[in-house]
Each structure stands twice: as structure tokens, then as C-alpha cells.
């Protein structure tokens, strides 16, 4: 039963005007499996889902549901055959209650004329029971957080005898505990024999939840297989079509010490933290949320300075009691939430690039515009920021390119130490690899690099030293020859 095929697609093609969204996709979903569909933004995942749910009529290709070939699938046919989709916007009613949102589709399907609020509540309670979600049935949906809206959408989907539940990027707007909660629900639905297809491109999440994986690129089918057949390297290669160096980072030739902290302490946050960075080192700091990893980074940049301990830069002791101290010592910091803290989204790439080094561009009272533009163009080239010119606002860039602008801003200040907190959160896998390569290059030039992250694979490949924080103290300091560490 576990290997019975529920849905089979062959050579699916779909164009919109001149855009070939799908160029021949094969897919096979088995009963009771959790199947992950991965691919970079715009590669056609959502379009494929709409082909399965009958929203789009495909141009070419064949679809079988439970062994029966279907042609010109209509949304209502798909639903009647047990295909339920939870779209990125959930398609819920913000102005109606939880109970009504769950029960409405069924009422429409049954062509009910009069509404029985009692029945609506019963249906909703039963669905919430089955999914294991607890919500106030009389709450308006607009009052629920995203995760709650998603649960309502799931409850609604499964009451209509779902056999295949498709979720389009269900984790993008969720916090980590919410993702856990969602995965629990998904696993319990799988145990009930429902096939699940999830669109996701975060490998760590895919490992946690999926049985099998299908990868699309540019509208084309690339590969499919058991999750165990994919390691990071193959996943990245299939996803992006590029071979990325995932060799573990080892400095070419270790040099003299650049940066050292001794017994750094901020009571209640971290204590007695000591480590050193030599020329060529990329140092990783990791730990669970609340282990003090973030606070340590902020202390080194003077946001919330440490109370005691010593800090040495290039052999000289320095004091960092404020952000100004850090800037004067040429320390750069990319905050975790770059969108609100690191960038002026509506200003141009150029404005963002020069904002921290604006002093260098004053000639008397006049700003030297051409120098600013030249510098920005240079970074656009060096960091390969995908932008036609220095002028478009940062808001128009993708996550990875926006992150590169933050990096450009700091590189333009010629930092001696560069601290990055979660530098690749929300960044496409291709851009992620590029950012890693940039950081390695900087380290080789003698800039001290600190990456604060909870993405362990990221640290293992890119940092030659890793500081593991546990409850405010340095748990261990290790090199990257390990493959896993306890946090």
C-alpha cells in the first residue's frame, strides 16, 4: 500500500504567453508518503500545483489519478478525487469565524440552503480533533496569526476526504516552533494514509519531514528520489545547476592573530568567553536560541557592550563600549534582521552602499557623486549583485542580492573584523553559496570573519573554527572536521 501510486504526471507543459513555466515535468506521488517538491523561485512549482488541482489546464502531458488518466481536469474534479491544495495565501476568509472557514466548503459542496450553526461547529470540532489543533471556533480568522490560519486551511482541506494534500511553501511565514507544530500535524496526517506534497527549498526542513524529493529547475524536471539519496551537494547541484564548492573550508596559510577576546562577560547573557581569530580564519559561533550567541555578537559591535573582559585587535587592546567604538576600530556587523536593521529598503543600492562610509565622499561640503557611483559599481561587480545599475531601490532586489548590498556597505568601510549574524537566512541556495565564497575570499585577504548561525551545515563547510555556546558559556571550540555537534 505504501508504494501504490496516487498521482502520476508525465511530460507536463504549460506556457503563459511566451513564458514557458513548465517544460515537461514528471512527478509521481505515492499513497501515504510525504513528497517534497523543491526548486528555486520562479521554477514553476506553484504552476505545477495548479495543474494538479485543475486551476490551469495543461498544454501537453498526461495526468493519472489513482491509475485513471484524467483529461482537462477541473478544480471540482480534482477535489472530488481527493486532491486538496493549501495555497500560499491559504484562500481563507478573514472575515469569517474559524468554524465557518472550516465548514464552508463542505456546505457549498452539499448545496446546503439553510445554515445550521450547530452543524458547522460539529464539523469544525471534528476536523480540529482529527488534525490535533485547538482553536476557538468563534474567533474571526483575521485575528489569528499566520500559523493559525494555516491550521484552519488544513482542517478545511482534510474534511473533504483528502487523499492528497498539497502545501505550497507552508513554512515561509512560520517561526521555528510553528514549523515543528506543522510537521507534527503533517506526520499525523501521513499516518492516516494521506499523501502529502510539500513545496519547500530549505534542505534542513526537507530532511526533517520528507520521504522523497523531486527537484525542478527552470520549469524542467531534474531528479527525483528517496531523501537519503540526496546530500547537500547533490541537492544544491540539482537545484541550481551549478557545482558549488562544498569542500570544507581550510585556510590557505594560517597567519598571525587578528582578533582575540579574553574572559568577556555580560552578566545574565554570557560569561568568560575567550577565543582568537588568526589571519585566514572564518570563525563560527553557534548555540541554541538563548545560549548567548546573538548577544555575544552584539557585544562585539557595542550594541550591548560586555561588562568585563579584554578585546584585542591586531595585537592592541581596544575598548568597545558603544557602536561608535566598534566603527572607529573598523568592525562591521550584519544584524540578523537585515531588512529592518541593515537596509533602507526604499533607497537605492548606491545610497545603501555608501551610507556607513559617507564621510569618505565629502569634499568640503560637497558629496562626490561620481566616486560614490564608482564604488557602488565596483561592489556590484565584485559581489555579482544582480542589478542593472546602482540606482534601483533595494526593495526591488531578491533576498540574496539585498544581503550582498549589506555586505557591500560594510566592505566599503574597509573593516578589519566583520561579524555576520545569520548571513544567509532567507537567501536562495545559489546566492547563499556565492555569499559563502565572498566571505572565504575576505578571510584570505586578512579580514577577520565571524559567522553567527544556527545553520550547522553552513558552519561546518565555511568555518575552520566553531565556538559552541551553551547557556552563556563557551561549551567547546572545535575545528570543522566534525559532522555534527551537540548544541
Partner 1 sequence: MKKGKRNSMLTSTQMILLYVIIVFCIIVGLRQPAFFSVATVINIARAAIFSACFALCEMIVIISGGIDVSFPAIGCVAMYVPMYLIDKGMGSQSAWFCFGVAILIGLGFGLFNSILIAVLDIPPLIATLATSSIASGGAVTIFGSHDYTSLPEGLQKIYNTNLITYVDPNTGFSYVLNILVLVPIIASIIVAFLLKRTMLGRGLYAIGGAKHAARVAGLNVRGLQFFAYIFSGAFTGLTAMIYTTLMKSARISALMGDEMIIIAACVIGGVRITGGHGTVSGTLLGVLLITLVQNSLNMLGIPTSWQRFVVGIIILLGTILTSWQTKRSLKAEKA
Contact residues for Mg ion (CB under 5 A)?
46
Asked if residue 47 binds ligand ADP (CB under 6 A), the reply is: yes
Q: For residues 210 and 118, give the distance between their C-alpha atoms in angstroms, rounded to a whole number.
A: 38
* Nearest-approach distance from CB 139 to partner 1, in angstroms: 9
Asked if residue 109 binds partner 1 (CB under 8 A), the reply is: yes
Asked if residue 401 binds ligand ADP (CB under 6 A), the reply is: no
Asked if residue 114 binds partner 1 (CB under 8 A), the reply is: yes
Integer angstrom CA distances of residue 328 from 93, 137, 173, 413, 465:
53, 57, 38, 10, 26
Q: For residues 280 and 249, give the distance between their C-alpha atoms in angstroms, rounded to a whole number.
A: 10
Asked if residue 42 binds ligand ADP (CB under 6 A), the reply is: yes
What is the per-residue binding string for ligand ADP in 13-32, x denoting contact by CB under 6 A?
---x--x-x-----------
Pick from 44, 302, 332, 423 the residue near ligand ADP by CB under 6 A: 44
* Nearest-approach distance from CB 53 to partner 1, in angstroms: 9
Q: Which is nearer to ligand ADP, 41 or 304 (CB)?
A: 41
Asked if residue 78 binds ligand ADP (CB under 6 A), the reply is: no
* Nearest-approach distance from CB 172 to ligand ADP, in angstroms: 11
Range in contact with partner 1 (rule: CB under 8 A) among 12-20, 99-107, 257-265, 273-281:
99-107
Size of the site for partner 1 (CB under 8 A): 28
Map residue 142 onto helix, strand or coil. helix
Name which of 283, 281, 230 is nearest 256 in CA terms: 281
Pick from 9, 27, 39, 287 the residue near ligand ADP by CB under 6 A: 39
* C-alpha R_g of the chain: 26
Asked if residue 178 binds partner 1 (CB under 8 A), the reply is: no
CB < 8 Å & 24+ apart, contacts of 260-264: 260/311, 260/312, 261/300, 261/309, 261/310, 261/311, 261/312, 262/309, 262/310, 262/311, 262/312, 263/308, 263/309, 263/310, 264/296, 264/299, 264/306, 264/308, 264/309, 264/310, 264/311
The residues in 137-176 that bind partner 1, with binding defined as CB under 8 A, are 140, 142-145
Asked if residue 59 binds ligand ADP (CB under 6 A), the reply is: no
Which set of grid coordinates corresponds to residue 330?
573598523
Q: Select from partner 1, Mg ion, ligand ADP, none the partner in contact with residue 75, using the beta carbon and a kind-dependent cut-off of 5 to 8 Å.
A: partner 1
Asked if residue 43 binds ligand ADP (CB under 6 A), the reply is: yes
* Nearest-approach distance from CB 49 to partner 1, in angstroms: 13
Which set of grid coordinates corresponds to residue 434?
556565492
Count of Cβ atoms closer than 10 Å to residue 28 Cβ: 16
Q: How far is CA 198 from the centre of its chain?
A: 15
**Sign of the C-alpha dihedral, residues 229, 459, 398, 166?**
positive
Q: Where are the alpha helices (DSSP H) in 367-480?
A: 369-382, 399-411, 429-444, 456-462
- Contacts with ligand ADP by CB under 6 A lie at 16, 19, 21, 39, 41-47
- Contacts with partner 1 by CB under 8 A lie at 75-76, 79, 87, 89-96, 100, 104-105, 107-109, 112-115, 136, 140, 142-145
Amino acid at each position: 500500500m505504501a508504494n501504490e501510486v496516487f498521482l502520476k504526471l508525465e511530460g507536463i507543459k504549460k506556457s503563459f504567453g511566451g513564458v514557458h513555466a513548465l517544460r515537461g515535468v514528471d512527478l509521481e506521488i505515492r499513497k501515504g508518503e510525504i513528497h517534497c517538491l523543491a526548486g528555486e523561485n520562479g521554477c514553476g512549482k506553484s504552476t505545477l500545483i495548479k495543474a494538479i488541482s485543475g486551476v490551469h489546464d495543461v498544454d501537453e502531458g498526461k495526468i493519472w489519478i489513482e491509475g485513471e488518466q484524467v483529461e482537462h481536469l477541473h478544480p471540482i474534479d480534482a477535489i472530488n478525487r481527493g486532491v486538496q491544495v493549501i495555497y500560499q495565501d491559504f484562500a481563507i476568509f478573514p472575515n469569517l469565524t474559524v468554524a465557518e472557514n472550516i465548514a464552508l466548503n463542505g456546505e457549498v459542496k452539499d448545496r446546503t440552503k439553510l445554515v445550521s450553526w450547530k452543524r458547522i461547529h460539529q464539523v469544525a470540532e471534528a476536523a480540529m480533533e482529527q488534525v490535533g489543533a485547538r482553536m476557538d471556533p468563534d474567533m474571526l480568522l483575521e485575528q489569528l496569526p499566520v500559523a493559525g490560519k494555516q491550521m484552519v486551511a488544513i482542517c478545511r482541506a482534510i474534511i473533504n476526504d483528502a487523499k492528497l494534500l498539497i502545501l505550497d511553501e507552508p513554512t515561509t511565514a512560520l517561526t521555528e516552533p510553528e514549523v515543528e507544530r506543522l510537521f507534527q500535524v503533517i506526520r499525523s496526517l501521513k499516518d492516516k494514509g494521506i499523501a502529502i506534497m510539500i513545496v519547500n527549498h530549505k534542505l534542513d526542513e526537507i530532511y526533517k519531514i520528507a520521504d522523497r524529493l523531486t527537484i525542478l529547475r527552470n520549469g524542467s524536471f531534474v531528479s527525483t528520489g528517496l531523501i537519503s539519496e540526496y546530500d547537500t551537494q547533490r541537492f544544491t547541484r540539482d537545484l541550481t545547476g551549478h557545482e558549488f564548492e562544498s569542500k570544507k573550508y581550510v585556510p590557505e596559510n594560517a597567519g598571525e592573530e587578528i582578533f582575540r577576546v579574553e574572559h568577556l562577560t555580560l552578566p545574565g547573557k554570557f560569561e568568560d568567553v575567550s577565543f582568537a581569530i588568526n589571519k585566514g580564519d572564518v570563525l563560527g559561533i553557534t548555540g541554541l536560541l538563548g545560549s548567548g550567541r546573538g548577544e555575544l555578537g552584539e557585544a562585539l559591535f557595542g550594541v550591548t557592550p560586555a561588562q568585563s573582559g579584554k578585546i584585542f585587535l591586531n595585537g592592541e587592546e581596544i575598548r568597545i563600549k558603544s557602536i561608535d567604538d566598534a566603527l572607529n576600530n573598523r568592525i562591521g556587523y550584519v544584524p540578523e534582521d537585515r531588512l529592518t536593521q541593515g537596509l533602507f529598503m526604499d533607497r537605492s543600492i548606491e545610497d545603501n552602499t555608501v551610507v556607513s562610509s559617507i564621510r569618505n565622499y565629502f569634499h568640503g561640503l560637497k558629496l562626490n557623486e561620481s566616486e560614490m557611483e564608482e564604488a557602488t559599481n565596483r561592489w556590484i561587480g565584485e559581489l555579482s549583485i544582480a542589478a542593472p545599475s546602482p540606482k534601483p531601490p533595494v526593495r526591488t532586489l531578491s533576498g540574496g542580492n539585498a544581503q550582498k548590498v549589506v555586505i557591500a556597505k560594510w566592505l566599503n568601510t574597509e573593516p578589519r573584523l566583520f561579524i555576520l549574524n545569520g548571513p544567509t537566512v532567507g537567501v536562495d541556495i545559489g546566492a547563499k553559496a556565492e555569499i559563502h565564497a565572498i566571505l572565504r575570499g575576505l578571510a584570505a585577504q586578512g579580514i577577520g570573519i565571524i559567522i553567527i548561525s544556527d545553520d550547522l551545515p553552513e558552519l561546518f563547510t565555511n568555518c575552520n573554527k566553531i565556538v559552541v555556546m551553551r547557556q552563556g558559556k563557551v561549551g567547546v571550540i572545535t575545528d570543522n572536521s566534525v559532522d555534527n555537534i551537540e548544541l
